Structure formats: C-alpha cells, structure tokens
Amino acid sequence: MRPADEHAIAQYVRDPASMPAEARRAVDALLAADDGAAAYAQFLEAFYSRLEEEQGSAPSEQVEVFVNDLFGDAGATVIPMEPFPASSEARPTVLAAATSTSAEERRFVVLATLRAQRPSVSSGIVRVLKDRSDDRGHLYVLTDPPAHAAHTVVSFPTLGVNLVTDERGRLTFDLPADVAADQWAEAQAVVRRPVATTTLGAAAEAVVPLPEGGHVRCQRTETRLTVTPETTSSGGPTLLTAHGASPSPLLLQLSSGASAEAPLDTTGALTLRVYD
C-alpha cells in the first residue's frame, strides 16, 4: 500500500461520510482486492472502536483517562501489553461488506492483538498478522499521536521475540517456526519507545546522555560496534538499536557496566536509539 492509500483507508474507517462517493468506491475496490489493505482497515477499526468507547465513558472515567494520558502512558517509554479482550474487537460497520471474506479464504490471519495493561489512546494497540501466501509476519503498532509508534521495540518475553518497527510503526518479519498460533494469541508483550537518539559516523565514538542520568558510550570501527552503558541508577537502559543502510537494524541487549558488541556490514552513518 502507498501512504496515500493508508490515509484514504483511515478516513474511510473513521468518517466515510466525509469522503466523496468516488473516493469511497476506490477504497471499497482496494479493500476487496488487497488483503493487506483489508487487514489494515480492520486494525484501524479496533483502534477507533476503543477510542469511541473511552470518549463515551462516564465523566469521572473520562477524567481518569485524561489524567492517565497526561501523566501516565502519554510519556511512558516502557508499556506492558496484554491480549486484547475478545469482547472488545471492532463491531460490524461499513467495513463488513468490503471485508466479508471467510476465515478459510483470508490471506492474512490475526495472530495477536494487544493493548496496554493500563489502556489509554496514547499507549495504542499492537497487532501481529500472518501472511498465508509466504508465512511471514506483519507487525503494526498504532498510537495517537502516530509518532509514538515510530522505531518502537516490541518484545514478547515468553516467545523470545524482539521486533523493531520502522518510522510508521510497522515491520514485516520471518515468523519463528517454533512458535504456534495459540502462543502468539496468549502472549504478553512490552512496547519500548526510544529515550535517546544519536548518529554515529564511521570509525567514530559518541557518548549518549540518558534522561535519568548516566550515558551510553558507543565506539565504532569499520567492522564492529561496541556500546557500554554507564548509569547512576539501578535500572538503566536495556536495549540499543543501530539503523544503517540495511532495513533490518541491529539489536543489542544492554547491562549496566558491561559492553555489548555486534559486527557491522555497513560503512555509512548509523542511527543509534537507546531504550529503557
């Protein structure tokens, strides 16, 4: 899908009456012809359905949601996620006619849908799909504002899986052969947003300051990246990603005072992101 298609689908899901008839017909055709577009539309349906539920809650509950957004998950960088309750799935809407393919015929199968353990709009939802045509996985992280989904790390501890999204909160990845569908459906996850970012050139060194004090020292040779967290607190950063020319970033596990290393296959600049 093109970004313009995604924008049209979002408008179609949120407010189809605001679209010209020709534009709605174009989206209808796209959803009927493209299983990926249909899966994305259904994902948006679940998100906006939850948003409407929060807006329709009692005034005291609305205040609580507002406070949670203002002081809680809106600024959180580590968000525990749990399986989305089945009763909270999107209700039938205008999408039903365009996405009425039976389960046996669907190209994309939902493996997992998760929400924050302390739900708020800003914490968003996470969905993992399986593409039956090539047995690959598709990860979507949807938040409001959308920028909160960019370059997140979604970890499934019980599955031993760590996934890093792109600037749109998406990722296509190889599904682990030893993880069954029911394991995905029952798994909890942790979404991490970057707390610090820097750019590192070839054969360079950088010190990345951390919001809670301390820093991460990064050293790079032509063939290897070495990072060492030096923190003053008991917690400290747990992950670091390095994005270069390859679409797949390096992911390093961090431990305070201990160095982590990874081989490099690129000579261009690296964007380093640190996560709590």
> How sure is the predictor about 194, in pLDDT bands with cuts at 50, 70 and 90?
very high
Phi and psi, residue 53, nearest 5°: -65, -40
**For strand 189-192 and strand 153-156, is the pairing parallel, antiparallel, or unpaired?**
antiparallel
Given this model, what pLDDT does residue 180 score? Answer: 95
Q: At what angle do helices 3-14 and 35-55 cross, to 10 degrees?
A: 40
pTM of the model: 0.75
Residues 215-230 have pLDDT tens digits of 999 999 888 999 999 8
Task: Tell me which H or E stretch contains 3.
Answer: helix 3-14
Q: What is the pLDDT of residues 125-164, one digit of tens each?
A: 899 999 989 999 999 998 877 888 999 999 999 999 999 9
Q: What angle do CA 272, 274, 276 make, to 5 degrees?
A: 170
- Answer whether 166's CB lies under 8 Å from 3's CB: no
Q: Is the pLDDT of residue 57 over 60?
A: no
With beta carbons less than 8 A apart as the criterion, state whether 225 and 249 touch. Answer: no
